[in-house]
C-alpha cells in the first residue's frame, strides 16, 4: 500500500484533530498544550537526532529520526495554524528552480 503522496496530509489531519483531545490521552495533545516553546524544543531535539543518525547511524535509525522530525514539524505547523498545503505550495513554487537561483531570490540586498 503506497501512501507516500498522502501520509503527511493524513498525519497533519490527525494532529489537528488531537488539538481537541485531552492531553492525558494523547502525546500530540499533550505536546500542543505545552505551547510553542516545548514544541520548538522537541523539534530541535529531533533535528539534532536526525543529524547524528545521518552522520553515523544505520539506515533504520536515520529513517526513524526523519519520521520523528517530520511529525514534530507538522505539530509546529498545526500549533501555529499554518495549513500544511502552504508548505506543499511553496515546494511546488520552488520546484524546477535551481537552488542557487532560489536562494539568491530570497536574499535581501545589503
In this predicted structure, what is the pLDDT of residue 106? Answer: 72
Residue with cell 535509525: 61
Query: What are the helix (H) ranges across 3-83?
Result: 7-18, 27-33, 36-56, 59-79
In this predicted structure, what is the pLDDT of residue 52? Answer: 98
> Domain spans of the chain?
22-91
What band does 27 get if pLDDT is binned at 50, 70 and 90? very high
Q: How far apart are the first and last CA of the chain?
A: 50
Nearest to 73 by CA among 51, 46, 50: 46
- Is pLDDT at 3 greater than 60 in this prediction? no
Averaged pLDDT, 43-68 = 98
Q: How far is CA 99 from CA 51, 54, 87, 95, 103, in A?
A: 21, 22, 17, 9, 6
CATH number belonging to domain 22-91: 1.10.287.1080
What band does 16 get if pLDDT is binned at 50, 70 and 90? very high
Q: What is the mean pLDDT of the chain?
A: 91
**Which residues lie closer than 8 Å to 33 by C-beta, 6 or more apart?**
23
CA 102 vs. chain centroid, Å, equals 21
Residue 15 is placed in which grid cell?
A: 494532529
Amino acid at each position: 500500500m503506497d501512501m507516500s503522496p498522502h501520509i503527511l496530509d493524513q498525519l497533519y489531519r490527525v494532529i489537528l484533530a488531537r488539538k481537541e483531545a485531552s492531553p492525558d490521552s494523547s502525546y500530540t495533545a499533550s505536546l500542543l498544550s505545552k505551547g510553542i516553546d516545548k514544541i520548538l524544543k522537541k523539534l530541535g531535539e529531533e533535528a539534532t537526532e536526525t543529524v547524528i543518525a545521518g552522520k553515523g547511524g544505520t539506515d533504520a535509525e536515520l529513517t526513524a529520526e526523519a519520521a520523528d522530525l517530520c511529525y514534530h514539524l507538522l505539530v509546529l505547523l498545526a500549533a501555529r495554524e499554518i495549513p500544511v498545503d502552504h508548505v506543499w505550495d511553496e515546494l511546488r513554487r520552488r520546484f524546477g528552480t535551481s537552488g542557487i537561483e532560489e536562494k539568491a531570490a530570497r536574499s535581501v540586498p545589503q
